[in-house]
Amino acid sequence: MAFIVAKTDDIAPGQMAAYDIDGEPVAIANVEGRFFAFSNVCTHRACPLYDGLLEGTNLTCSCHGSQFDITTGAVVTGPASMAIKTFVVETVGDELRVQKAGELPAKAETEDELTPIKRILAKVPLFSGLSEESLEALQGFTFRRTFEPHELIVEEGRTANGLYVILSGRVEVIKGLTGSRPQLLATLEPNEPFGELALLGEWKRSASVRAMQETECLGIDRWVFLTFLEREPQIAIKMLQLLAERLAETDERLLERS
Ligand code: FES
């Protein structure tokens, strides 16, 4: 069951806020526009976590300095030895909805939900050939977000944060959206990814991507992905191949124009 707990504007980037969700203390953090929800109780000696120090996705408890990775809840540094609980956060329009794990009906249904994600990731060219174990690990770094019809998912000229894969709905890729002659470059359907190169660096998006209808995407943020890359160096080789292909395409286009 999802609980609508706040508006996206309620929590500024780099900030956290505390909520009581159905009797459970939950903190939500805004990390450069991505929201993460986790238990507001430190597993060391139960201090509240929302007033700790947030650096990227690393949270330091203000009481005795335990550090947690808020994307997974894992302990980074003690004295705490137990992970904190994390919750799925969905952004629907300007609403933040938190899915309480304890409210999920049953284990079988949770697995039903997770298995297709692994399958979807395997279809992304960048991740094809990854072992099931690696896909399992990668799945833990993803988030889901729903966009309203006509909502901008990616804005041309803005710095990109990561990769999206369409789960449902449809998007259009448009060059020069705000100019006098916008050009439709492509429409993308479920299972199609966009923004792979944004996983590598803070480059500006070359086109805008806009939802044509209500569209749910699976996302991976760059800073989270880079952590994964350290564990899975073969992905870095694939990324080099992808870069080489993109460079070759650009060369070809330039030659055609000359
Ligand atoms: S209560 Fe958080 S580190 Fe001790």
Spatial distance between the Cα atoms of 194 and 234, rounded to a whole number of angstroms: 20
Other residues' Cβ atoms within 10 Å of the Cβ of residue 30 = 20
Backbone angles phi, psi at 55, to 5 degrees: -125, 105
Ligand 1 pocket test target in 38, 41, 44 with most atoms within 8 Å of CB: 44
**Could you tell which of 45, 49, 81 is best to mutate to test the pocket of ligand 1, judged by most ligand atoms within 8 Å of the CB?**
45
Domain boundaries 111-257, corresponding CATH code: 2.60.120.10
**What is the per-residue pLDDT for 1?**
64
Mean pLDDT of all residues in the chain? 81
Domains of the chain by residue range? 2-103, 111-257
Percent of the chain with pLDDT over 90: 22
> 104: pLDDT confidence band, cut at 50, 70 and 90?
very low
pLDDT score for 253 = 63
48 Cα–ligand 1 center, Å? 9
Domain 2-103 identical in fold to domain 111-257: no
What does the pLDDT look like over 48-96, one tens digit per residue? Answer: 999 999 998 899 999 889 999 888 888 888 888 778 888 888 888 888 8
How would residue 111 be classed by pLDDT, with cut points 50, 70 and 90? very low
Determine the atom of ligand 1 nearest the C-alpha atom of 49. 2
Least confident of 5-9, 186-190, 196-200: 196-200
Over residues 219-238, the pLDDT tens digits come to 888 777 777 777 777 777 77
Best CA proximity match to 11, nearest among 100, 95, 101: 95
Residue 59 has what pLDDT?
Answer: 94
CA of 75 to the centre of ligand 1 (A): 11
Instruction: Please say whether the beta carbons of 103 and 117 come within 8 A.
Output: no
Q: Is pLDDT of 134 > 80?
A: no
Nearest CA to ligand 1 atom 4: 64
Predicted local distance difference test score (pLDDT) of residue 107: 36
- Ligand 1 atom with least separation from CA of 79: 3
Closest-CA residue, ligand 1 atom 1, reads: 45
Pocket of ligand 1, beta carbon within 6 A: 42, 44-45, 47, 61, 63-66, 79-80
- pLDDT at residue 257, as a whole number: 60
pLDDT above 70 for 258 = no
DSSP string, 40-63: SB-TTT--BSTTSEEETTEEE-TT
pTM for this one? 0.53
User: Region 180-202: what's the mean pLDDT?
Assistant: 84
The domain covering 2-103 belongs, at the CATH homologous superfamily level, to Rieske [2Fe-2S] iron-sulphur domain (2.102.10.10)
Q: pLDDT digits over 8-47, tens only?
A: 889 999 999 999 887 788 999 999 888 889 999 888 888 8
Alpha helices in the chain (DSSP H): 107-123, 132-139, 222-231, 233-257
